[in-house]
Chains A and B, each alone.
Chain A
Amino acid sequence: GNSVTQMEGPVTLSEEAFLTINCTYTATGYPSLFWYVQYPGEGLQLLLKATKADDKGSNKGFEATYRKETTSFHLEKGSVQVSDSAVYFCAPPLIMDTGRRALTFGSGTRLQVQP
Chain B
Amino acid sequence: SAVISQKPSRDICQRGTSLTIQCQVDSQVTMMFWYRQQPGQSLTLIATANQGSEATYESGFVIDKFPISRPNLTFSTLTVSNMSPEDSSIYLCSVRPSGSTDTQYFGPGTRLTVL
Within 8 A of B (CB), among A32-74: 32, 34, 36, 42-46, 49, 51
The answer on a CB contact under 8 Å between B108 and A43 is yes
Q: Interface extent on A, as a size class?
A: 20 to 34
The answer on a CB contact under 8 Å between A32 and B109 is no
Contact residues in B for A43 (Cβ distance below 8 Å)? 92, 106-109
> What number of residue pairs across chains A and B have CB atoms under 8 A from each other?
54
Instruction: Identify which of A32, A49, A89, A101 contacts B43 (C-beta below 8 A).
Output: A89
Q: Secondary structure of the B side of the interface?
A: strand
Within 8 A of A (CB), among B4-42: 31, 33, 41-42
Contact residues in B for A44 (Cβ distance below 8 Å)? 43, 92, 106, 109
B77 CB–A CB distance under 8 Å: no
Min CB–CB distance B17 → chain A (angstroms): 25
**Most chain B CB atoms below 10 A, which of A44, A100, A104:** A44
Chain A contacts to B: CB under 8 angstroms = 31-32, 34, 36, 42-46, 49, 51, 89, 93-94, 96, 100-108
Chain B contacts to A: CB under 8 angstroms = 31, 33, 41-43, 45, 48, 56, 92, 94, 96, 101-109
